[in-house]
Amino acid sequence: MGRVNKPQLTVVQRDELEQGFTQCAASHCFRMRCHAILLKAEGRKSKEVGELTGMCALTVNNWVARYKDGGIDGLYTKPGRGRKPAK
């Protein structure tokens, strides 16, 4: 049985994530990343969070690590990522 990687969130961090999940119009991906961090902070397992958000458990763990390193800014998609526009 694996350990649960539970991020410790302050009230301000939780409010930022909840606002990003419910009110942000940036992208669906960003909202799902915020949701994943909130679910992990509740103590849920990565596999369960992955099923709820449509990610695999490894991806959930990667986003938790990026959140711990960069805060909410770490959840945004970095420039140059994703499919390039058709010419």
* Band of pLDDT at residue 3, cut at 50, 70 and 90: low
* Residue 54: predicted pLDDT: 93
* Residue 25: predicted pLDDT: 67
Domain extent listing, the chain: 11-74
Rounded to whole angstroms, the Cα distance separating 84 from 8 reads 36
Assign residue 54 a region: left if phi > 0, alpha if psi is -120 to 50, beta otherwise? left
* Band of pLDDT at residue 83, cut at 50, 70 and 90: confident
Q: What is the pLDDT of residues 28-74, one digit of tens each?
A: 889 999 999 999 999 999 999 999 999 999 999 999 999 999 999 99
Where are any strands of DSSP class E within 16-86?
A: none
